[in-house]
Amino acid sequence: MMVSQTKVASGPDAGGGAVVGVIEAFHLTKQHRVITAVDDVSFTAPDGNVTGFVGPNGSGNSSTMRMVVGLDRSRCSA
């Protein structure tokens, strides 16, 4: 299971050597005791696009972002 992967590329197409990133997350699952906050979430945020990550309070937004940046660990759902 891959929790998150960050790819970076640079070159003339990336603004003269600037670093451009792609964020990919696969099969993220997070439980807080008996409550499942995130259940098997996968997504890709491609470079060159503005990507929104929205939802109501308590829907797992913060838990998902904490796993993507490495502050929390994902649990395998299988």
Task: For residue 38, give both structure tokens.
Answer: 């995130």
Q: What is the pLDDT of residue 56?
A: 92
Q: Which domain holds residue 43?
A: 4-68
Read off the pLDDT of residues 6-56 as tens digits, 9 standing for 90 and up.
444 444 454 555 545 688 888 999 988 888 889 999 988 888 888 888 999
Task: For residue 23, give both structure tokens.
Answer: 């964020």
In a domain, 74, yes or no: no
Entry pTM: 0.64
What's the N-to-C CA distance of the chain in angstroms? 10
User: What are 31's strand-pairing partners?
Assistant: 36
In a domain, 76, yes or no: no
In a domain, 73, yes or no: no
